[in-house]
Structure 1
Amino acid sequence: MSMWESALKDTVQAIEPLDAGKVEEASVHLDQLTKPPGSLGRMEDVAKQLAGIRREIKPDLGRKAVIVMAGDHGVCEEGVSAFPAEVTPQMVMNFLNGGAAVNVLSRQTGTDVICVDIGVNAELSHPSLHSRKVRFGTANMAKGPAMSREEAAEAVMVGVRLVEELAGQGYGLLATGEMGIGNTTPSSAILAVLGGKDAALAAGRGTGIDDKRLLHKQAVIARAIEVNRPDPADPLDVLAKVGGLEIAGLVGVILGAARRRIPVVVDGFISSAAALVASRLSPLSASYMIASHLSQEQGHAMLLEEIGLTPMLHMDMRLGEGTGAVLALPLIEAAVRIMKEMASFADAGVSGASTPANG
């Protein structure tokens, strides 16, 4: 076992269940507030989940950030995307210069954008860039493994260690984002292998490819699975053979967040592929995830079902970058405010549901 895989094993073993007592305490508190029981719907579920994660019913989540992992994919040479691979480094610079959709939404929601080069196939330099490059893009998974097992474990640990840094800086609410032209292809392959789905069901249109290219993409995914024969019982093997560097980095972000008892808001299709791998490495980690939205990408609902997550928003989005996750952050903060600021029946002098006056 490599040093990186050993570190990953230690991370997984350090993840603990949610505090069930605090979940129950939060539930009791919610039912004492001036509203019919359960009337705030999913917001109440999130409030209880946060209590279990943070071990307090009125947690202070601190600073919030979206972590945008960026990496390139050798499978792009198969023509699976409507955009050329050169767009990946160009978009990374756009993130760093504040011009992308995730930057706009993050400014609106008071969220910091943490952009990470974990595997872009270009030399990048910028004062705000977190340079954590494991390799210059993956290999073509249609011809062999996307990366070695050691590289996959190293990329996961990049995410874990980044969360450690951010936790030390007062970040208590994290969102996942990504950039990598062609990355719906490995994400679809991960769904096909770990979810036991046919490539035709797992693969969608990604950046907006036509019917002919979609059929080709599905064939490429099926070929990659046939060539590599990833083991569904070994999530790291799947990640190495048909995954991506930015996907692996997000696996680490999710596992690192779970280890540090930090809620992690999962974005769309690619982020959810990472979440599925994380949940297979550590089933306990799923309890720390909040699904932000349902993407238009056809495999996203299947991914969320595999993990056992229910999306908060239905916005017909399919951009990635962490945009859907950032949009959900104010709702999560709202759940905390309800717990902290809403009056109870006793405080407000309002008759509760069990009294005759309430009917």
Structure 2
Amino acid sequence: MLSEIDIQQKIDAKTKPLGALGQLEELALQMARVQNTLCPKLIKPTMLVFAADHGIAASGVSAYPAAVTVQMVRNFLQGGAAINVFCKQHQIDLHIVDAGVNYDFGKMEGLIDAKVAYGTRNFLYEPAMTSNQLQQCFKHASLLVDRIAQDGCNTIGFGEMGIGNTSSASMLMSALTGIPLQHCVGKGTGLTETAVKQKLALLKQAQVKHPKITDPIGALVTFGGLEIAQMCGAMLCAYKNNMIILVDGFIATVAFLCAKMINENIGSHAIFCHQSNEHGHQRLLEYLQAKPLISLNMRVGEGTGCAIAYPIIQSALLFLNEMASFESAGISGSLKQPS
């Protein structure tokens, strides 16, 4: 087993002042540790975008109608969304997964059918899904990630699409962290300040309806979206396959929170790609003690933060693998910190 000291010595021997590449050095150390090699690689990077509908959307928590979920899935398949553009730019394989969209797509080229239900139920009145549906989500996700890993991929990112899913994520975040709901609820798809207050009031009603839920399985059953549940299961399977896990914005980070509560070791493989402009995301990153790579005031979802941050992750490995050392370059250097 490669020691962390060995990796750090390779980093420190590069032709630069100690620590001068900052967070890139931390990334290089993390990825070398995960892959147990001094020469880590990013192989067949893949993005999974999970789509599903939410019963809570019928209560008016979003600026967009639920039909937009279907429309955006079609847009993904036609190559017209932000995530399509960025994945193409950085040569990342993109897969769109129907985890629970309220529409029968039939057989559509490029769409992975992992539908568990035609959306969740409205958690304002009843649990969003059954325990059996949650287990189906985990099973679908595991089979999908296992296939991708077997194809040689060692780096996988996660995105989502689902009208109403910031409400689901806010409820999960508050239930599992104990952070008051008002610090978890934000604009979502672009609500006005008045509409955000109405959204918060509705979600507080749901909190009263379903009190004292603090375990990840119970919280996912009660509040979870089918796409959030599948992301959680997919992250757990990615860890099992020793893959580097790229975490996107607010919704994906909530899925990661659930995964981490199921398997606390998963954090060693996770790279938090950006800090979303969604209200609760900064608070959640702080709770997880996670350091995002970028902050560009984005709140698109879809995995866009992962794709935008990907070249930074590449740079971390390129310096580790290709940058000269003091010895190889014949440069006088010191591994000691200046006094």
- Tell me the TM-score normalized by structure 1: 0.91
Change (3 A) 1:350 1:164: same
Whole-Å separation in 1 of the counterparts to 2:238 and 2:212: 27
The CA distance in 1 between the partners of 2:65 and 2:170, in whole Å, is 19
The answer to whether structure 1 residue 80 and structure 2 residue 66 are counterparts is no
**What do the CA deviations read for 1:129-158 (whole angstroms, capped 9, x no partner)?**
100101110000111100012211221232
Could you tell me whether the CA contact under 8 Å between 1:22 and 1:57 is conserved in 2? Answer: no
CA deviation after TM superposition for structure 1 residue 25, in Å: 1.8
Q: Larger deviation: 155-164 or 282-291?
A: 155-164
Asked if residue 151 in structure 1 is aligned to residue 143 in structure 2, the reply is no
CA–CA separation in structure 1 for the residues paired with 2:299 and 2:24: 24
Q: Is the 8 A contact 1:189 1:242 kept in 2?
A: yes
Q: Distance in 1 between matches of 2:102 and 2:163?
A: 11
For the residue of structure 2 that corresponds to 1:171, the secondary structure is coil
- Select the residue among 210, 221, 229 that pairs with 1:248: 229
Cα distance between partner residues in 2 of 1:111 and 1:123: 28
Q: Does 1:337 align with 2:318?
A: yes
Deviation at 1:231, TM superposition (A): 2.1
Q: Is this contact kept in 2: 1:22–1:56, CA < 8 A?
A: no
Q: Does 1:320 align with 2:301?
A: yes
Equivalent pairs, count: 338
Amino acid in structure 1 at the alignment position of 2:186: G
- Which residue number corresponds to residue 292 of structure 1? 273
Task: Note the 1:206-355 alignment, pairs <5 A.
Answer: 206-229=188-211, 231-232=213-214, 234-353=215-334
- Does the CA contact (< 8 Å) of 1:76 and 1:182 recur in 2? yes
Partner secondary structure for residue 16 of structure 2: coil
Secondary structure of 1:309's counterpart equals: coil
Task: Report how far residue 230 of structure 1 moved.
Answer: 5.2
Taking the aligned partners of 1:161 and 1:23, their CA distance within structure 2 comes to: 32
**Could you tell me how far 1:164 is from its partner in structure 2?**
0.5
User: Partner amino acid for 1:306?
Assistant: Y
RMSD: 1.6
Indicate the SS of the match to 2:46: strand
Structure 1: which 5+ residue stretches go unaligned? 1-18
1:15 equivalent in structure 2: none
Match of 1:102 in 2: 83
**Counterpart secondary structure, 1:67:** strand
The residue type paired with residue 275 of structure 1 is F
Separation in 1 of the partners of 2:27 and 2:48?
21
Does structure 2 conserve the Cα–Cα contact (< 8 Å) formed by 1:46 and 1:332? yes
Contact 1:304 1:310 in 2 (8 A): yes
Letter in 2 for 1:189: M
What's the CA shift for 1:308?
A: 2.2
- Deviation at 1:24? 2.7
The answer to whether the 8 Å contact 2:18/2:335 transfers is no
- The one-letter code matched in structure 1 to 2:91 is G
**1:164-222 Cα deviation digits (max 9, x unpaired):** 11011111111110000110000000111111122211100111101221111112211
- Relative to structure 1, is the Cα distance of residues 199 and 290 closer, same or farther in structure 2, using a 3 angstrom cutoff? same
Asked if the contact 1:267/1:320 (under 8 Å) is kept, the reply is yes
Deviation (angstroms), 1:354: 5.1
Q: Distance in 2 between matches of 1:183 and 1:324?
A: 17
1:88 shift after superposition: 0.3
Give the SS at the match of 1:264. Answer: strand
Q: Is the Cα contact below 8 Å between 1:26 and 1:48 reproduced in 2?
A: yes
Residue of structure 1 equivalent to 2:185: 203
* Distance (whole Å) between structure 1 residues aligned to residue 96 and residue 5 of structure 2: 37
Q: Distance in 2 between matches of 1:24 and 1:279?
A: 26
Q: Distance in 2 between matches of 1:24 and 1:174?
A: 27
**Aligned equivalents of 1:153, 1:286: Cα separation in 2:** 22
- The offset of 1:58, in angstroms, is 0.9
Contact 1:224 1:242 in 2 (8 A): no
Compared with structure 1, are the counterparts of its residues 186 and 226 closer, same or farther at alpha carbon in structure 2 (3 Å cutoff)?
Answer: same
What CA deviation, in whole Å up to 9, does each residue of 1:20-52 have, x standing for no partner?
Answer: x44332111000111111111111111111011
1:69 to 41, 45, 50: 50
Map residues 15-94 of structure 1 onto 2, 5 A cutoff.
21-94=2-75
Contact 2:55 2:123 in 1 (8 A): yes
Tell me, in whole angstroms, the C-alpha distance in 1 between the residues paired with 2:123 and 2:212. 11
1:149 and 1:114 mapped to 2: Cα distance? Answer: 26
Letter in 2 for 1:150: N
Which residue, out of 70, 89, 94, partners 1:113?
94
The alignment status of 1:178 with 2:160, answered yes or no, reads yes
